[in-house]
Structure 1
Amino acid sequence: MYTLVRTTLAALWLTTTLVVAQPTTKARKAPTKAVASTRSPADLKRPIPFDPNVKVGKLPNGLTYYIRKNEEPKNRAELRLVVKAGSVLEENNQQGLAHFMEHMAFNGTKNFPKNELVSFLQSSGVRFGADLNAYTSFDETVYQLPVPTDNPELFERAFQILEDWAHNATLDPAEIDKERGVVLEEWRSGRGAAQRMREKYFPYILNNSRYADRLPIGKEEVLRTFKKEDLESFYQTWYRPDLMGVMAVGDFDIAKVESQIREKFGRIPKATNPKPRQTFTIPAHPDTKVVIVTDEEQPNTVVQLIYKRPEIKETTLNDLRESIKRSLFNIMLGNRIQELTQRADPPFLGGYSNYSSFIGNLDAFTSIAVAKGDNVERAIQSLLDETARVRKFGYTPTELERAKRDLVSGAEQAYNERNKTRSAAYVNQYVQHFLKNDPVTGVDFYYNFLKSTIDGVKLDEVNQLVNQFIAPENRAVVIMAPDKNKNKLPTVDQVLGWINNAGQNITAYVDQTLDSPLLRVQPTAKPIAGEKKIPEVGVTEWRLQNGVRVVLKPTTFKNDQILFTGTSFGGTSLYDQKDFESARFASTVTTLGGTGDYNQIQLGKYLSGKSLSVNPYIGELQEGISGSAAPKDLETALQLMYSYFTQPRKDAEVVQGFLSNQKSFLENQIATPTPAKVFQDTVQTVLGGGHPRRLPLRPEQLDRVNLDRSIDIYRERFADAGDFTFVFVGNFKELDIKPLIEKYLGGLPASNRQERYRDLGIRIPAGQISKTVYKGVDPKSTVRLVFSGDFNWTPETTTQIDALAEVLEIKLIEKLREEESSVYGVGVNGSYAKYPAERYTFQVAFGCAPENVEKLISKTLEEINNLKQRGADPKDIDKFKAETQRETEVQLKDNNFWLSYLSSQYYNGDDPKEILSEEERLKQVTVESTKAAANRYFGKNFIRLVLMPEKKE
C-alpha cells in the first residue's frame, strides 16, 4: 500500500464526515503529585537519553539495527525493514516505482520465488494484509513482519525474508507485468473528488516543491509503460545498506537475533560510489497562499488554515521541555474547539486545531473545519477567533491545570504499563528514530522528567506559543467545496480580509466548571445473593439482590486497565414506527445533556485527569452501557454509570445544535452524493428489504426527534437494571471490587421486569436480486455479492462458516489478484447472528475496472462452484487453521477479546467455556466439511450489487 504522510497532512484530503454516534465521556487518570522542577538551565542543555533497553548497532556496510527484548505478546516478534527511499527520489520515468517496488518484494525473491513468500507465511499463521504488510510514502518504504518466535526455524526464515526484501528481489518481467494490474487497481481505488482536488491544491501548500509532484501512487502512464530496467535502477540505486534499518522487538534472545542480523544483512555488499541521498525541502514563502477548489462529487465544504514553520528537532532536555509546552497548548486549544461544537448553534459541523509534524522539513499549526452548509466565512472566522482569543487573553490557570493533569496521566498510564507494552508500539518508535531521529526515551525517564518539570511550566510560557505558531508568512488556506456552491464561495481577497481582520470583537474565554458531587444521592448497597465459579476460564458469576448478573474475569494482561459492559434485551424494537426516530437517538440526545447537575462541558472538565470512559447506548435489540477505567478510577466510572442510569439530563439547546449539524450534514450528502454513498445506501436498502428502519437516514427524519419523548424512552430502557448482565475484565481482585459492585450495581433500580426484544421481521430478501447503480465520473466499479439464509446456531456451524469465508478469500486473492491481476484486494466476510433469528450472511466485495465486472463475478462464482464440487484445497484449510490458532494464542491474553467474547456468550446464552474446545472444532474443518458448507450456505438466496460509472450520453 502507499501512504502520503504519517501526520495530519492526511486530513487535508480526506473527506470529512459526521456520524450519528453515541457521545463518550472520556478522561485520564489523575497523576501523583508533581514535584517542582529543580533543573538548572545547564541541566536542560544535556542530550535526551536514549532508552538503555534498546540495543543499536551498525554493520560495516552501513546498515543500522535496533533490537529489544519484550514479552508482550508472548512468543511473538515485530520485525521491520525500513528503507530511506520513497517517491520523492523517483526520476520522471519512475513515478510510482518506489511503491511498485514494495509490491514486487512480495512477488518473488531469491529464496521465495513468485508468491511462495505469502503462502509460506500464511501456512505459519501470518495473515497477508492484516499482519504481513508494507507501505511507501514520500521519503521511506517500510516492510512489516510480525512472526511467532516459538518456532525457531520459522523465526530464522523471517530474517531471511527481510534480507530478501533488502537485496534479493528477482524482478521477474512476467511478475512485473502481472503486478501492473494490481497496482493500477490500487491507483484506480484512490480516484475521486479527494484526489482531483489534491492535485490542484498540493502545489500551493507545498509551494511547488518536489513533494507536490511525487505522490507515492505515481502516474498511470508510468505504471502502464515503465520498463523493467527503470524499476531495477530504482532498486539498485536506493535499496542499499547505508539507507536501511532493521528493527526487531519481541520475545526472543537478543544475542541470537543480533547474530541473525549480522549474518544475513552483513553479506549485503556495501554500496560503491553510492548516489547521494538528497534531502528535499519545501521552500518558504512570505505570502499567504489561498487556493479554492471544487468538485462535483465533494459533499461538504472544508476549510483549512496551515501555518508552516521549520521542523523542530528534539535533541536536548530543553527541547523535551518545549514539547511539553506544545502538548499543553494543543490540549487546551483542542478542548476549546470541541466546546464550539457543543453549543446550541455550532459554527461548523466539526473541526480541530493543533501543532504537529507536517511533511519534509516542516512542522505546521493546522486548523480544519467542515462548514455548516455553505457558510465558509463563519467556519473560518470561528477558527481564527479561537486562536486570536488565545493571543489576546491567553489560556486560564484552570485550563492549564487540567491540561497538565491530562498530560501527566497519559505518561503515568504508559509508565504503569511499561512491562505490558506491546512490541508493535516499541518498534514504531525505532522506525521513527531511524527515519527522523525522533527521541527514543525510556518510559521511566520520560515519566519522571515530566513529573519533575511540568509544575515549572508557567501559563505565560504556553500562552506565548501562539505567536510562534501563527504568523503571516508561510501560511496557506485551502477551501474544498461542491461544484454547486462555486458561486457562493468567497474570493481570495475576501479570505485574506477575514484573516487580517480576525478577532476584533472577541471576548475572553469563560471556563465553565461546576464543583458539586456527581451523585445527588448515594445508592444503597445490596449484597450478593448468589455466586457461581467457572474455573476453566477463570470466571466468577454474581447474582445481586436486585437481579443484576455480574460476570467477572480478573486478569493481569494490563496493569492499568479494567473494561466493562452491561446489556439487556429490549432496544428500539419495542417502539412503534411513530416513536422510532426519538428512540434511535434517545441515548445520543440524553447523554449530550451530560448527567445529574453537570452539562456535557462541565462533565468533561470534572473528569479531567482520570482514566475512564462510560458510554450508554440503545440498539435495535438491546440497551446497554460500556466503558473502561484504570483501577484507581473504577469507582468514579461506576458512579458515572450509576448517574447515567438514574440521572439523565436534558439540554435542549445542545441537542438543537447537534440535530442542526446532523441535518446540515445529511443535506450536503443528498445535494452532492458521492458514488460510494449512493452505492452504500442502495446496499443498505436492498439488504434491509426496503424496511423503513433500514432506509438511509434523511434530513426530515431528524425533525421527528422529540427530545421529551427521547428522554422518556431513555428512562424506560434504563429504569430497570434487574435484567442486565454486566461483564468486567481486567486488573482487579474480586474482594476489592465487591463493595463497589454491591453499591453501584446492587443499588441500581430494579422491578423484576423481564423483557425481550420484538422481532420486526427484517431479513435479507430471499431469492435472486440484481441491482446496478450508475454513479460517478471515474472509471471504477464496486461489486458486492451476498448469500444469506437460515442456519442452526452452534459452535460447530459458526466455525465452519468462518473456515468457508477464509478459504474462499484465500482462493479469490489468488485468482482475482495474483492470476487475473484485476483487483487490488478482495474481501470475504462470513457473519452470523442468533437474534432475532438464527441467520447467516456471506459477502464478497471488491473494486475493479468497469470492463472487468462481469469477468470477475464469473470467476468468483466459478470458485464458489469449485468449493461446492470439490471442497477447499487442503493447503488453504491448513492456512485457516494456522491463522486461527495463532490469532487465538494472542487473543487469550487480551482484555478486549475476553470482554467481547464473554459479553457475546452471555448475550447469546452460550457456554463461556466454548473457547476451550476451539481446537476440536478446527479438527472438524476438512475438505468434505467445506464442501458440505459451501453447498449449504452458497444457495439460491443470492444478491448481486454493482456500482458502475455514470453512463455517458
Structure 2
Amino acid sequence: MLIGCAGLSSKEQQGPVQKYYLDNGLEVILWANSNSHSNDEVELDLVIHTGSLQETDDQLGYAHLVEHMLFEQVAEDGSHPVKDVLTSLDLKLGQHANAYTTYDHTNYYLKVIGAEQQRLHSALKLLSSFAFKSEFVEAEVAQEIGVVREEWRLREPEAHRAQYKLRQLDLAGSRYYERPPIGTLASIQAAQATSLNTFYKDHYRPANASLIISGDFNLEKMRQRVELEFSQWPSKDLGRAQQYPAPALDNTSTHMLTDPLQDNYWLALMREESEATVNNAVNWLDTMKHDAVLEILWQRLEKRRFKASGGVRSFSAGMDHPYGNMMRYYVSLEASLDSLPEAVRLLAQERHRIATFGVSKIELDAWRDAMLINEQPQQDSAWHLAEIAVDHVVYGTWLRGQQEYLATLEAQLPLLTSADINTAAADMFASDLKVELVAPNTQTLPSPADLSQWLFEESVDDGFAVQLLSLQTWPVNAALGQIIQQQTLANGVTVFELSNGITVQHRYSASAPGKVYMHLVGQGGLNQLLGRDAINARLSLQTMTASGLGALDGPALSQWLEQRGIVLQPYYTYFTREMQLASPSEDVDLSLRLMHYALTQGRVSNSVLDYYKQQNLDVIVEMQGSVLDPYHRDIEAVFSGTDPSLRRLTVDEINVTQASQMLALYNRHYKGAQNYVLSIVGDIQAHELEQTLAANVASLPLTANPPAGFRSAPVLREPLQISGQGSNEKSTQVVLLYQIPKSVVAQ
C-alpha cells in the first residue's frame, strides 16, 4: 500500500475497501476482492456526478448525448479508437462495456474478464480518455444526433402508456419533470460540437467524478496506475455539480388510468418517505424492519390468493428508491375485471391486519431464518461490489462487502422484536397512502366511490393460520435402496448407478460455496402425450406444486422453501420431464427427501385446480381480445399445428380438466423412478452423498411402464413470411427465425 505515493490526499479510508482522493479532487475507490465469484474479473466505473438535472434549459439531453459521443469517437485517420481498444480487450459493447445517464449522474463501466495487468492498464487508460482527453467534431456530432434521435423516437411511444403518465404525475412541479435524461427532440437536433465540448469540459472535472475499481487486482499496482492515468486531469476547484431535491412526497393522491397494452387491472398502494441515508450498520436496521413487514405481508397475501378466484392473478410487495433520497413502499396486485373487487378487498384487509395487529413471533423468526440461510453462502462478485460502490458515491449509502453485511445480519437480526416490526408496520400502512390503478383501455374504470369502499373494508378472514414451517422434516419411510455401481470418470464426474435404475452424476464445484444445484431429467415429455394427456400435463405440475406436499398446503410449502433457501421446481418440456432443485450444502439430504415426496405423493387440490383453470381461461379471453390475435394464430398454425402439447388450448378443453385425470397422468408419467437421471453439482463431496442417495433416491419405486416412443417437434418445411398489423405501438418489430438441422450445428 503506497501511503506516501505522490499526488495522494491524506483524506483516505483504509481497510478491505480503500477510498481516497487524488490531489486534483478525484474520488477513488479500490475494492480488491478475489473469490470464486470474482476470480480473474475486474469492473472499472467512471461516475460523473452530472445527469439531466444539471443541464441548463439550452442543454436538454446533453449529458446523454455526450455519453454516446465518447463511445463513438473517430480519429483523423478514420479509425475508431474506443472500439479498437474494446476489440483488443475482447469486450463487447453493451455486454462488457457500456454507459447510462440518469437524472443525477452518468456512469461508464468496463467489465474485464481476464484481469492481467496490461489489460487492466488499457481499460484504465480508456476511462481516462473518457474523463478528460476527448473532443467532439461536427461530423461525429451530426451522426450521433441521428442515433439518439432514433432512440428518442423509440421511447416516444411510451407517452401513451399509463406508466409514463403516472411517472409524469409523480414528477409534476419538480426539476425532474422538466429534464428527462433523454432530453427533448428540439434540443438534441440543435446540438453542435462547440456546445457539447463546452458541456463536457464544464462537467467532466475530477472533483465532479468518482473512479471505482473492484475485483481481482493487485492493490498496490492499481494505485500506482490510477495515479499515472488520472493525476494529470486538470482541476478547476469547482467541487461537485449542484444537486437537486427529489420530487415532493405524495401519500394522498388517487390516480386511475387506462392503458392500450394492459391485459389486466393493476393496482398499487404506496407510501413515500424522505429516507435518511443508510450509511452504516445501525441505520441499516430500520430498512430491515420495513423489509420484514413487506415480506410477511406478501406471504399472507399469497396464502389467501389460492383461496380466491383465478382472476386474482398476483400480489407483490417491496420498496424502491425512485428518485434521490425518496423511499417508496408498495403493495400491488394484478387481477381480471371480474375479480378486481375481491383482489382489492384482500389487499386492503391484509394491509389493515398488519398495520393494526402486527406480526407474530413465529413469522418474525421465520423471516430471520430465511434471511440468514439465503445470505450465508453468498459471495461478492466484482460486478456486485461495483454496484454498491456506485450507490455509495452517488447517494452516500453503506459501503460494505458481503462479510461485513453477514456479520451485521448475525449480530443485529436477533435484536429485532415483534414490537419493532409492528411499529414499523403501523408507520408504513396505518396512515394515508397513494393509490394507483391501471385498467385495459377496453374496460371501464371503477368509480372512485367503489374503489374507496373496497379499500377501506376492514373485515379480515381470520382463517389465516401461521404454520410451524421450520418443524417440517419430510421423513422417508420407503425401504432403503442401493448403489449398485460407482465410478469416477477422468473428467472428475462421479457416476452412481442405483438399484431402481436411476443414474446420478455428481461433480464437486466450489464456484458457489455452501450451495448445491440438482437437476432431474427424464427422457420423454409432452412429445409422448396425446390429446387429453397432453392438456393435463400442461396444467398439472403447476397445479400440483401449488397444492402442496406432506403436511403443507401450497402457500405454506412455498414459504417453507423460501425460508430454507431451497428450490423445487418440477416442469415439462416438449422432450423431457424435469425438476430443478437447489439448496444449501447442509440441506442436500432434506432436499432429496423433498424430491422423494414430489415423486411419490403428488396431489391435486380442487380449489387450486379451479384457480388455475380460471387463470388460463382469462388468458385465453385476453389473447382473443388482442389486436394481434390473428397474427399470433398464424404463427401457431405453423409452429404448433394441431398438437395440443404446443397450440393454444380452448375454453372447453380447460373447463373439462379434472383432478383425477391429472393424478392418473402423474402416476403413469412422472411418479417414481421412471427413466430419470439426476445431476448434482456444487459444494458437496461424492462420499457425502452416498447415504442420502440410497435412502431418498434409490428408494423411489420402479415405474411399471417407463415412457417409450417419441414424436418430433413440428418443423418448418419451406421459407415463410408471417405479418400482422395494429399493435397499438408506433414501432415495427421484425423477427427472423432460422431452423438449422442438428447435423449442421454439430459441424
TM-score > 0.5 by shorter chain: yes
Equivalent positions of 1:133-148 (< 5 A) are: 133-148=98-113
1:663 maps to 617
CA-to-aligned-CA distance 1:582-621 (integer Å, 9 cap, x gap): 1212211111211233211232344464221111112221
**Partners of 2:153 and 2:667 in 1: how far apart?**
49
Residues 629-638 or 593-602, more deviating:
593-602
Q: Is the partner of 1:787 in helix, strand or coil?
A: coil
1:175 maps to 140
Contact 1:389 1:508 survives alignment (8 Å): no
Residues 679-688 or 150-159, more deviating:
679-688
**So what's the TM-score if we normalise by structure 1?**
0.72
Which of 635, 647, 660 is the aligned partner of 2:601? 647
Deviation, 1:328, is 1.8
Instruction: Report whether the alignment pairs 1:633 with 2:587.
Output: yes
CA-to-aligned-CA distance 1:775-826 (integer Å, 9 cap, x gap): 234431111223324341674x1xxxxxxxxxxxxxxxxxxxxxxxxxxxxx
Instruction: Report whether the alignment pairs 1:528 with 2:483.
Output: yes
1:775 maps to 726
Structure 1's 227 and 701: CA in aligned 2 closer, same or farther, altered over 3 A? farther
Structure 1's 554 and 96: CA in aligned 2 closer, same or farther, altered over 3 A? same
1:737 maps to 689
Instruction: Report whether the alignment pairs 1:303 with 2:255.
Output: no
CA-to-aligned-CA distance 1:141-165 (integer Å, 9 cap, x gap): 2222111445433221100111112
Contact 1:568 1:725 survives alignment (8 Å): yes
Contact 2:467 2:556 survives alignment (8 Å): yes
Which of 450, 461, 465 is the aligned partner of 1:510? 465
2:393 maps to 434
Structure 1's 274 and 310: CA in aligned 2 closer, same or farther, altered over 3 A? closer
**Partners of 1:681 and 1:119 in 2: how far apart?**
46
Equivalent positions of 1:825-840 (< 5 A) are: none
Contact 1:389 1:506 survives alignment (8 Å): no
CA-to-aligned-CA distance 1:490-533 (integer Å, 9 cap, x gap): 3445545555x342566585324578765464233322222333
Contact 2:267 2:334 survives alignment (8 Å): yes
1:787 maps to 738
Equivalent positions of 1:887-898 (< 5 A) are: none
Contact 2:495 2:506 survives alignment (8 Å): yes
Q: Is the partner of 1:477 in helix, strand or coil?
A: strand
Structure 1's 426 and 757: CA in aligned 2 closer, same or farther, altered over 3 A? farther
Deviation, 1:207, is 4.2
**Partners of 1:747 and 1:621 in 2: how far apart?**
26
Residues 429-438 or 363-372, more deviating:
363-372
**Partners of 2:650 and 2:244 in 1: how far apart?**
50
Q: Is the partner of 1:566 in helix, strand or coil?
A: strand
Q: Is the partner of 1:62 in helix, strand or coil?
A: coil
Deviation, 1:462, is 0.5
**Partners of 1:682 and 1:126 in 2: how far apart?**
40
Amino acid at match of 1:210: R
**Partners of 1:152 and 1:496 in 2: how far apart?**
63
**So what's the TM-score if we normalise by structure 2?**
0.91
2:7 maps to none
Deviation, 1:667, is 2.3
Amino acid at match of 1:747: S
The higher-RCO structure (CA 8 Å, 6+ apart) is 1
Equivalent positions of 1:579-618 (< 5 A) are: 579-607=533-561, 609-618=563-572
1:391 maps to 355
Deviation, 1:55, is 1.0
CA-to-aligned-CA distance 1:247-305 (integer Å, 9 cap, x gap): 111222111111111221211111255684132321245x7222222233332221122
**Partners of 1:697 and 1:308 in 2: how far apart?**
43
Superposed CA RMSD in Å reads 2.9
Which of 457, 471, 479 is the aligned partner of 2:437? 479
Deviation, 1:747, is 0.9
Amino acid at match of 2:523: F
Contact 1:617 1:623 survives alignment (8 Å): yes
Structure 1's 168 and 86: CA in aligned 2 closer, same or farther, altered over 3 A? same
Unaligned ranges ≥5, structure 1 = 1-48, 798-953
**Partners of 1:109 and 1:603 in 2: how far apart?**
58
Contact 1:561 1:730 survives alignment (8 Å): yes
Contact 2:102 2:181 survives alignment (8 Å): yes
Deviation, 1:167, is 2.2
**Partners of 1:397 and 1:112 in 2: how far apart?**
71
Instruction: Report whether the alignment pairs 1:575 with 2:529.
Output: yes
CA-to-aligned-CA distance 1:544-575 (integer Å, 9 cap, x gap): 12111111111222211111111111212222
Which of 244, 250, 253 is the aligned partner of 2:209? 244
Deviation, 1:230, is 4.2
Deviation, 1:672, is 4.1
**Partners of 2:285 and 2:196 in 1: how far apart?**
45
Structure 1's 342 and 312: CA in aligned 2 closer, same or farther, altered over 3 A? farther
Amino acid at match of 1:531: Q
1:41 maps to none
Deviation, 1:70, is 1.9
Amino acid at match of 2:481: K
**Partners of 2:248 and 2:484 in 1: how far apart?**
72
2:5 maps to none
2:334 maps to 370
**Partners of 2:737 and 2:316 in 1: how far apart?**
39
**Partners of 2:181 and 2:48 in 1: how far apart?**
14
Equivalent positions of 1:266-285 (< 5 A) are: 266-273=231-238, 276-284=241-249
Q: Is the partner of 1:255 in helix, strand or coil?
A: helix
**Partners of 1:376 and 1:145 in 2: how far apart?**
46
Amino acid at match of 2:555: I
Structure 1's 224 and 708: CA in aligned 2 closer, same or farther, altered over 3 A? farther
Contact 1:372 1:665 survives alignment (8 Å): no
Amino acid at match of 2:542: T
CA-to-aligned-CA distance 1:613-658 (integer Å, 9 cap, x gap): 1111122211121111111011111011111000102211122112
Contact 1:389 1:507 survives alignment (8 Å): no
Amino acid at match of 1:528: I
1:541 maps to 495
2:371 maps to 407
State the percentage of identical aligned residues.
20
Q: Is the partner of 1:67 in helix, strand or coil?
A: strand
Structure 1's 611 and 386: CA in aligned 2 closer, same or farther, altered over 3 A? same
Instruction: Report whether the alignment pairs 1:88 with 2:40.
Output: no
Deviation, 1:357, is 2.7
Deviation, 1:213, is 3.5
2:312 maps to 348
